[in-house]
Amino acid sequence: MNDACPGGVRTCLILANGAAPGKRFVRAMAHSADVVMATDGAASRMLAMGVQPNYVVGDFDSIEPTTLSQLVP
């Protein structure tokens, strides 16, 4: 299994738009994850929790312009 991920097992936190777990949980999971991802609709919620996603995915129809400006390229 480790052949699929050179360097060993990695963890990824993915936050989608919908009912999200609490801020404390998301921050703890983000801190321990190797990669943090959000869907376009969840990016603003993630930023509001103090978590900067490494990647944002989606069609970007539900992301606010202010959220886009806060994302690090």
For residues 21 and 6, what is the distance between their CA atoms, to the nearest angstrom? Answer: 31
pLDDT of residue 5: 62
Domain regions of the chain by residue span: 2-59
Give the DSSP H or E segment for 73. Answer: none
Per run of 10 residues, the mean pLDDT along the chain (length 73 residues) is 64 90 94 94 92 93 87 75
Give the DSSP H or E segment for 14. Answer: strand 12-15
pLDDT of residue 1: 42
This prediction's pTM: 0.80
What stretches of the chain show up as alpha helix (H) in DSSP?
A: 23-32, 43-48, 65-70
